[in-house]
Amino acid sequence: MKKELSELFAFVKDTDRLLVITGAGCSTDSGIGDYRDDNGSWKKPPPVQYQDFLRSETVRKRYWLRIQLGYPSFRDALPNQAHLSLARLEGSGIIQGLITQNVDRLHQEAGQKKVIDLHGRLDQTICLGCNKITPRNQIQDWLETENSFVNELAFELRPDGDASAEHYDLGSFLVPKCRDCNEIIKPNVVFFGGSVPKQTVENCLDWVKRSDSVLIVGTSLMAYSAFRLVRLASERGLPIASLNRGTTRANRLVTTNIVENCSEMLSALEAILKA
């Protein structure tokens, strides 16, 4: 048995209440790009900041133009072996809960039941005036109708339904607004520079407190919202394993560090546990 696989197997085989925390590396095999390289540095310019989105109509125009281009590929992505293996490990009783930083809902599509979407979900929008939730597909249909010229633009995909489209004329672009109150809408996700809802934070902290070990999958933990959960687990003396292609912010906290592909290792782990 490969050394890394043996370490992962040893970590999970005796746990009763395993909590999994996932990030972008869990979805890269589904064609959804990640934000950071193996050293935890940005691969591309950082995404739009929440305060900039609120302040500037121009920023909102650029954001919605880019996501109009990138969202269809994001929406059509399918769960990969990492998602499927994690869902089956939950079904067999090994995983008691999963907290994901991803906004793609691929864990749920794979069959995962006990999931907290730490950073929200991109398949919905929320109105900042009346809090109305609208399916993102409805907004996409509106965008493609009202801004049909955008559909023909060349672009490069970025993570989470974003696209590179910095230099196009924004003058005629129409920004979607709430159909009920005409206020600003945004995807129902936590933007960079935004805050995770208090209840979500409390639910995540509670899950950590009820766990006996934590497995980090496909994340550098550069976002404090996830790092704080691992730090709490460390403070409580819980064993912590990391399965990731590169470094993580929590390297000094983990007890088992496995630098491998998420899909391959989880699939192999599942096979051993079934044997």
Co-location of 11 and 113 in the same domain: yes
Residue 37 covered by a domain: no
CA angle 88, 92, 96 (to 5 degrees): 90
Amino acid (1-letter code) at residue 67: I
Domain with 252 in it: 1-32+79-119+195-275
Co-location of 215 and 271 in the same domain: yes
- The pLDDT, as a whole number, for residue 250 is 87
3-state secondary structure 12-23: HHCCCCEEEEEC
Q: Chain centroid to CA 107: how far? A: 10
- The pLDDT, as a whole number, for residue 102 is 96
pLDDT in tens, the chain (275 residues): 689 999 999 999 888 899 999 999 999 999 987 665 555 554 556 678 999 999 999 999 999 999 999 999 999 999 999 999 999 999 999 999 999 999 999 999 999 999 999 999 999 999 999 999 999 999 999 999 999 988 888 787 777 777 776 667 788 999 999 999 999 999 999 998 899 999 999 999 999 999 999 999 999 998 999 999 999 999 999 999 999 987 888 889 999 999 999 999 999 999 998 86
CA distance 163 to 134: 22
pTM listed for this prediction: 0.92
Amino acid (1-letter code) at residue 115: V
Q: Which of 189, 210, 228 is the last residue of a domain?
A: 189
Domain count, the chain: 2
Q: Which of 172, 189, 206 is the last residue of a domain?
A: 189
Residue 243 covered by a domain: yes
- The pLDDT, as a whole number, for residue 108 is 98
By annotation, the residues acting in catalysis are 119
Residue 213 covered by a domain: yes
Are 11 and 256 in contact by the 8 Å Cβ rule? The answer is: yes
- The pLDDT, as a whole number, for residue 36 is 55
Co-location of 145 and 243 in the same domain: no
